[in-house]
Structure 1
Amino acid sequence: MLPLAEPVPAVAFPGRRICWLMDNAGSLVELVERKSGPLSLASLSPGQERS
């Protein structure tokens, strides 16, 4: 995986950074910094979905 740039503040995830990577096939992968809060996976109860 090749990072395309340094991590930057995420607009959609306040207080977190994102970083884009590209694999050998040219697929893009977005990494989002893990933090607690209302947008974290940990904030969901088992079986609960966000709408």
Structure 2
Amino acid sequence: MSIPKGILTEEKVKKLMPIIEQILSRKHGKDIKFNNLTVGDITIKSDEERS
């Protein structure tokens, strides 16, 4: 299953990143933070990694 172009943008993936981290942190009982997140062809790096 592929994601049609135009559905996901870089801004939408940036908004999804903390939500996904929160869900996984609750599920595993640990604080989970991503260095980068790739959805389809869009890769987002965390703010901490950019500095």
* TM-score normalised by L of structure 1: 0.24
Higher strand share: 1
Q: Larger RCO: Structure 1 or Structure 2 (Cα < 8 Å, ≥ 6 residues apart)?
A: 2
Q: TM-score, normalised by structure 2?
A: 0.24
Looking at secondary structure, tell me which structure has more helix per residue.
Answer: 2
